[in-house]
Chain A
Amino acid sequence: MEGAVVLLDFWPSMFGMRTRIALAEKGIKYEYREEDLRNKSDLLLQMNPVHKKIPVLIHNGKPVCESLIQVQYIDEVWNDRAPLLPSDPYKRAIARFWADFVDKKIYDLGSKVWKTKGEEQETAKKEFIESLKLLEGELGDKAYFGGENLGFVDVALIPFYSWFYAYEKCGNFSIEAECPKLIAWAKRCMQKESVAKSLPDKEKVYEFVLHLKKVYGIE
């Protein structure tokens, strides 16, 4: 179980944040290595030759790629504390379904919100809010998607909260006005040390998005 853990990551990546949260929830000591995505390290290219992307979790020298697979791996190996997935197979299937929903909808729609303008942006904003409302429905009256504690879906979704401010500024809208329950959930998650220390400051993310817009020539 014990053994060297290294995380190759990039500070604004929502996907990297998921793995950081999982490691923190389990109290695992690890070495964090910041990657320059314009100048990827030999280690990254060697450990993820298929996608050449972060995050990469390296445990005892062996790489695990893809953030949700890393979270499941961490949950299975360090299975004596802070369980992230439920033990019941049906509840696990529901958790996987909603984490998959986050992957299918939130990242792409959120990207469209900051990358586009005019009608394309309005459509993206509408679909983005619709998707968040569906997630609110799944949350219901629970404190977390995982019930009384952080679970798989919480870990999958909460990193996007650090990008909400940037989406709101670029899209000129308020996510809290449309989805107050979800924002209440997000603030509840941020009370947890594992989440608070894994998410970057929202102003820094917004600065980064403005920088990206310049680089891509987006107005």
Chain B
Amino acid sequence: MAAVKLLGTWRSPYCFKVIWALKLKGIPYEYIEEDVFDKSPLLLQYNQIHKKVPVLVHDGKPICESTIILLYIEETWPQNPLLPIDPYERAVALFWIKYADDKTQSIPKIYRTTGEEQEQAVKECSEMLETVEQHGLIEGKKFFGGDEINMVDIAFCMVAHWLGVLEEVAGIKMFEPHKFPKLHSWAQNFKSVPVIKENLPDDERMFAWLKHRREMLLAPKSN
């Protein structure tokens, strides 16, 4: 029986964050794909409060919420650190991780809505991108983590990869290189990192799924 198990779904960026952290630290694990529309008894047992993926199970003990999982991984397996050692630098990193967690939630709203609601989601998303471009990324630094990616880079993964597919599905263009040069450059660098590049959802499969999902969500409700 594997000491480390991950309950996840290929559709969720939050699950990929955990996969990348485990692989960057060289931790072997067993992956269990969950159908979030038909949740397994195992998932409901391990995450009774939120009933969501990802859930990391280490020696039978569950840890929930992707950022909390990443912090647990960092503290349990300190090799290849994903956070700065200095307490102040770490506090700054945690600030941007929280910012990413709170604000990138506006990204999926883009494909789930139309009209005024979608305009509002696009506005929120643009503001988030502008803030990160202005305050989050330091000129000349390849990654938020410096020369190597760290937990902050991982936290912004939705911007690097999922945003592009969602824009396509929703039929809007927002994350443009001339508007966000630093972020664009960062996104290219992030996706070139071998562990990231080799562990991303298939673009075509993702597009097809999101397009289908959008149609389902926006279909007029029948009585």
* Interface residues in chain A, defined as those with a beta carbon under 8 Å from any beta carbon in chain B: 49-50, 59, 62, 64-66, 69-70, 72-73, 76-77, 89-90, 92-93, 96-97, 100-101, 134
Contact for B72 among A77, A92, A100, A134, CB less than 8 A: A92
Report the Cα distance A100→B94, complex, angstroms. 14
A50 to B29, CA, bound (A): 38
The interface of chain B, by Cβ under 8 A from chain A, is: 49, 58, 61, 63-65, 68-69, 71-72, 75-76, 87-88, 90-92, 94-95, 98-99, 131, 135
Top-7 shortest CB links A-B = A89-B75, A93-B72, A76-B87, A73-B91, A64-B91, A89-B76, A93-B63
Which residues in B have their C-beta under 8 angstroms from that of A90?
58, 61, 63, 72
Residue of A with least CB distance to B77: A89
Could you list some 24 contacts between A and B, CB below 8 A?
A: A49-B135, A62-B88, A64-B88, A65-B95, A66-B94, A69-B98, A72-B91, A73-B87, A73-B88, A73-B90, A77-B87, A89-B76, A90-B58, A92-B72, A92-B75, A93-B63, A96-B65, A96-B68, A96-B71, A97-B63, A97-B65, A97-B68, A100-B65, A134-B49
Contacts of A77 in B (CB 8 A): 87
Known: A66-B94, A77-B87. 19 other contacts (CB 8 A): A64-B88, A64-B91, A64-B95, A65-B95, A66-B95, A69-B94, A72-B91, A76-B87, A89-B72, A90-B61, A90-B63, A90-B72, A92-B75, A93-B63, A93-B71, A96-B68, A97-B64, A100-B65, A100-B68
Q: Is the CB of A72 within 8 A of B135?
A: no
Residues of chain B within 8 A (CB-CB) of A100 are 65, 68
| Contact between A69 and B68, CB atoms less than 8 A apart | no
CA distance A66 to B65 in the complex (A): 18
CA distance A62 to B98 in the complex (A): 19
Most A C-beta atoms less than 10 A away, residue of B69, B87, B92: B87
The B interface, classified by DSSP as helix, strand, loop or mixed, is helix
Bound complex: CA A82 to CA B77 (Å): 26
- The closest CB in chain B to the CB of A49 belongs to B135
Neighbouring A residues of B64 by C-beta, 8 Å: 97
B131 contacts which chain A residues (CB < 8 A)?
A: 50
Bound complex: CA of A200 vs CA of B215, how far in Å?
51
A136–chain B nearest beta-carbon distance, Å: 13
Kindly report which residue of chain B lies nearest to residue A88, judged by CB atoms.
Answer: B75
- Does A69 lie within 8 Å of B95, measured CB to CB? yes
Q: Is the CB of B95 within 8 A of A93?
A: no
The docked-state distance in angstroms from the alpha carbon of A101 to that of B71 is: 16
A49 to chain B, nearest CB (A): 6
Contact A69 B72 (CB under 8 A): no
Q: Inside 8 A of B58's CB, which chain A residues have their CB?
A: 90
Q: How far is the CB of B61 from chain A (nearest CB, A)?
A: 6
Please name all residues of chain B whose beta carbon is closer than 8 Å to the beta carbon of A66 when the two chains form the complex: 94-95, 98
Chain B residues with CB below 8 A from A97, complex form: 63-65, 68
A76 to B65 CA separation, bound complex (whole angstroms): 22
What is the distance, in angstroms, from B120's C-beta to the closest C-beta of chain A? 19
* A162 CA / B94 CA spacing, docked (Å): 28
Known pairs A93-B71, A97-B64, A100-B65; A76 contacts B90 (CB<8 A): yes
Using known A-B contacts A66-B98, A69-B91, A77-B87, determine if residue A93 contacts B49 with beta carbons closer than 8 Å.
no
CB distance from A51 to the nearest CB of B (A): 8
Chain B positions within 8 Å of A50 at CB level: 99, 131, 135
Residues of B within 8 A of A73 (CB): 87-88, 90-91
CA A93 – CA B57 in complex, angstroms?
12
